[in-house]
Amino acid sequence: MPIDPYIVLLIGTVGLAALLPAHGTGADVASGASTAAIAFLFFLYGARLSTREALDGLRHWRLHGTVLACTFVVFPVLGLAARGLVPALLTQPLYQGLLFLTLVPSTIQSSIAFTSIARGNVPAAICAGSFSSLVGIVVTPLLAAALLGNGGGGFSADSLVKIVLQLLVPFVAGQVLRRCDVGRGRAKRVGRDGDGRREGGFVARHRKLLGLVDRGAILLVVYTAFSEGMTQGIWHQVGAVRLAALLAVEGVILAVMLLLTWYGARALGFGRADRIAIQFAGSKKSLAAGLPMASVLFGAHASLAVLPLMLFHQMQLMVCAVIAKRRAHDPEAAEPPAGPAAASPTAAGTGSR
């Protein structure tokens, strides 16, 4: 069972917030820095997502539609069904966090990695994850408004304005920068492996550094959220029994989604390679996208809201790593990937994201 080193850093950040939470002026500074970090995160997301890749991926619309349906329809239905567990197993704040976890978009990096290990349709996984992240910028806040309402930390028109200013505007700005970056790269004729390899500008030259920066920004968001939680004493609402119940509920949700995406995709007529992409992209939730959104939507209550997402993220990594290794040894694993997206050179050239 692999442990993601970044999860260790996240847990350490939570511990730091518990021991040394930000107070007074320090809390104001941390909050302002967290707001800037969130905007910068979504700016980077926009700068990394290839518009041409997304358009090329539309040719495999059935697969992407299936992943989106799993992410933004089936997952929320399971989250709503868990409402019956309050207050017997889950407290209301933990349930709000659990329901929020079912609303966030799918992952990109881990979906690609596990699909590759299992010898599935990697380009399809890239496009599916990218579509989910893009759609989630709009759909996740709308679902939160509809399903969480005022219970989700006071969701209001002001929250919608914050979403637009902190998430959507930086994302669009990142897309504009990418297009300028790609244009300069083409003019200089740097690289010849497709749109994602021909940038030749800032994003391409500093890809690894920006990856460290956006992870650091997420750590800052976590520290700010959990500091606010400590100062308000909301951690007294969570005990060992409640955490165990939360893990059990999340385990059931993950198992249901893994089974549904695998056997449901087969019932829909998808081949093995596409089914693998659907299973790994349709059963996961993005910590990188969920944390900033929770900070905007839940405010001071974000610490409990993101706890279910952090636990689910590590659980999905461990379980999917085992499944991916088993899939790699299937008798059908030698079959070449099928589907229109498999032939997309643009999508194939962006696996590092």
211 in a structural domain = yes
pLDDT above 80: residue 105: yes
Percentage of the chain beyond pLDDT 70 is 74
Separation in Å, CA 196 to CA 94, 130, 171, 183, 349: 40, 14, 17, 11, 6
344 in a structural domain = no
104 in a structural domain = yes
pLDDT above 90: residue 103: yes
The confidence band for 50, taking pLDDT boundaries of 50, 70 and 90, is low
74 in a structural domain = yes
- Secondary structure in 3-state letters for 98-157: HHHHCCCCCCCHHHHHHHHHCCCCHHHHHHHHHHHHHHHHHHHHHHHHHHCHHHHCCCCH
How confident is the model over 103-122, as a mean pLDDT?
87
Separation in Å, CA 340 to CA 87, 111, 145: 47, 18, 36
How confident is the model over 67-82, as a mean pLDDT?
96
Residue 258 or 48, more confident: 258
Domain that holds residue 153: 5-329
What pLDDT is attached to residue 27?
Answer: 79
Q: What's the rounded Cα separation, in Å, for the pair 229 and 193?
A: 47
Separation in Å, CA 173 to CA 6, 138, 192, 213, 301: 27, 16, 26, 18, 29
Q: Give the count of domains, the chain.
A: 1
How confident is the model over 167-186, as a mean pLDDT?
73
343 in a structural domain = no
**Are 196 and 341 contacting, i.e. CB atoms less than 8 angstroms apart?**
no
pLDDT above 70: residue 182: no
272 in a structural domain = yes
Q: What is the pTM of this model?
A: 0.74
Whole-number average pLDDT of the chain: 78
Each residue of 213-234: pLDDT tens digit? 777 877 887 788 777 777 766 6
pLDDT above 70: residue 51: no
Percentage of the chain beyond pLDDT 90 is 24
340 in a structural domain = no
Q: Which of 50-54, 242-246, 291-295 has the lowest mean pLDDT?
A: 50-54
Each residue of 246-305: pLDDT tens digit? 999 999 999 999 999 999 999 999 999 999 999 999 999 988 788 878 877 776 667 778
By C-alpha distance, which of 128, 146, 134 is closest to 65?
Answer: 128
92 in a structural domain = yes
CATH number of the domain residue 165 falls in = 1.20.1530.20
